[in-house]
Structure formats: structure tokens, C-alpha cells
Chain A
Amino acid sequence: MAEEKQLTHQESLELITQMLQNAKGHFHTSGTSAILWGSVVGFAGIMSFLQRMFNFSIGFDVWLVVLIAIVPQFVISARESRNRRVLTYEESWLNAVWMVYGFSVFALLIYLQVVPTISVKMFAAEGKTLLIRNNSTKEVTAYYPFTLSASSLYLILYSLPTLTTGIASRFKPMIIGGILCYVFFIISLFTPFVYDVLMNGLAGIFSWLIPGLILRRKCLKAKMANV
């Protein structure tokens, strides 16, 4: 491109339009993070469902794999940041949305772990105990409080960044995935806990794994085209 070429007004406008289009069309991701989290949540949800449904145990809490997956996520994020040549506003906003989503999931996890124990202690400090009565045997036992259908809450959270990303980047598989999270959420309101975890697993597969695989295919195609 020549440096000092004097432009006509029409040429200036065309150049601006062309450059804006160049920048706009640049947003792309390899889908690696989506594949990672989709596989992990999908596996944990389905395995958790199977364990409860068929009464067997794999010997550890399968949801721990979700925490372990944070390590490869750091590696993926660092690698993507190293290879990035441009950062669009869309990317930076969506990164912020996913980061806040991560904090929120972690906060909800802590809430669900801490509140029951703290509640029991607070009641105890006031000299009170929560009791539950079995109507058939009339037996009254101590009651440990817990949030009913807690998995449903995760489904609402899953939808937020997924649907936002889908709408902002006009990526239909993520829009469908985000909407499906709400569908699974509504179903989970009426099903026992064992099916709620299955809904979580399915949400992981439809919201992240499938869109991630589609993104990966697109990315590989684009790379092949550039070779």
C-alpha cells in the first residue's frame, strides 16, 4: 500500500469500509476450551447419573474432574494469548463474560458447600436443631439442610455465557446450546436429583462439546485453506 497516495473522497470511504470489514471478520477461536469443558461436564454428569442409577461407585467424586480441568484451561488460555495477533472488542467482552461466569460457578459451588454447615451451626448457637419427621414410622431425626435441586442452578449459569457468546458471535450451535440449558433447567425442576445430574451432563455436551467440535472443524478448514 503506497504511503502518500492522495485519496479521492470515494476511495477514502471504500478504504474505511474495507478495513472495518477486515477487522470485523477476524474473530475466531479454535474451540479447544469448549471441547475441554463440554467433555468434562458431559462425562461427569453422565457418569454421576449412571452411578446413582445403577448403584455403583468409581471410588471418587466424579465432579472433581471439573476442578482438575482448570489446569489444562490455564495452558490453553496462555497458548491462545501467545498466538493472538489481534484482540477484537467482541473477544475481550466475551472473555470477560466467561471469566465472570467462572467466578460465579466457583461462588455457587462454595455457597452449596458452606451454607448447610453454617446454617446448622447458627441454629445450634441459638439452641435450635432442625428435625425431620418420617410420617410412616413417626421417627424424628436431625435434619441436615441442603439446597433442593442444586444442579438446576448450574444449568441457569451454563446458559448465560453460552447464549451470550452465541448471540454476540452469531454462532447458532451455541445459541441452541444456551436455549437447551434453559430447557434442561425447566425439566430438572420436575425430576429427581439423579436426572438433574444427567441434565447437567447433557447441557455440557450440547452447549460446549458439540459447538466446540464444530468450531474446531471450521478452524482446521480455515487453516487448510491458508496453507
Chain B
Amino acid sequence: MFKDLNPILHSQLRLAVVSLLIGVKEAEFTFIKKKTNATAGNLSVQIQKLKEAGYVEVIKQFKDNYPQTICKITEKGIAAFEDYVKALQQYLNVNK
């Protein structure tokens, strides 16, 4: 029995963001934007969706008088990512 792939993660940009955040403790919005080659608007919307799902924690603060957005993956996000990878492995093993 195959598990359905999590629809929140099964989207190119959201998966890219979560995959990036899983490898680091925290990252600035500008760093994620650079690494994913996404536009600021699009990235902002997708991060908001991840935040609403409880997968990502977003900290907004000021640094040197400029707004700074820091993103961190949550425990729930890590668990969802692990489940997603497991489900993906199942599909890929069958297709071999």
C-alpha cells in the first residue's frame, strides 16, 4: 500500500525550501531566495504556506535598521519531510 505524497511538500519550490532548511539550523530569506532562484513574491507565498502547515518557523526582526526574515524548520516539518522521503523511496523502488 503506497502512502500519498504530502501535497504541501510535493511542489517544486516548497520542497526546495524544506530540503534546504533541513540541512541548516536557520537561514535568511535572502539566502533561500538565492539558492532556490525563486522570486521574492513567490518565495514569500510558499514560505507562508509552509508556516501555516507548521513546517517552518519564521522570525521577523530588524538588523542594522533593515528588516530581516529568518526561517527554521520545525520538528513537525522534519517529520513531514522524513515521511515524504520514505514515501518517495517506496515509489522509486517499485519503478526500478
Contact B19 A2 (CB under 8 A): no
With contacts A1-B37, A3-B45 known, is A88 near B25, CB below 8 A? Answer: yes
Minimum distance in angstroms from B31 CB to a CB of chain A: 4
Give the distance in Å from the alpha carbon of A19 to the alpha carbon of B21 in the complex: 9
Give the distance in Å from the alpha carbon of A82 to the alpha carbon of B25 in the complex: 16
With contacts A13-B92, A86-B26, A87-B26 known, is A22 near B12, CB below 8 A? Answer: no
Contact A15 B27 (CB under 8 A): no
Contact A87 B25 (CB under 8 A): yes
Contact B95 A9 (CB under 8 A): yes
Contact A23 B13 (CB under 8 A): no
Determine chain A's interface SS by DSSP, over half rule. Answer: helix
Q: In the complex, which residues of chain A have a beta carbon less than 8 angstroms from the beta carbon of B36?
A: 1, 19
* Interface size class of chain B, counting residues whose CB lies under 8 Å from the partner chain: 20 to 34
Does A128 make an interface contact (CB < 8 A)? no
Minimum distance in angstroms from A17 CB to a CB of chain B: 8
Q: In the complex, which residues of chain B have a beta carbon less than 8 angstroms from the beta carbon of A3?
A: 11-13, 38, 42, 45-46
A contacts, CB < 8 Å to B: 1-7, 9-13, 15-16, 18-20, 22-24, 26, 82, 85-89, 91-92
B contacts, CB < 8 Å to A: 5, 10-13, 15-16, 19-28, 30-31, 35-38, 42, 45-46, 63-64, 85, 88, 91-92, 95
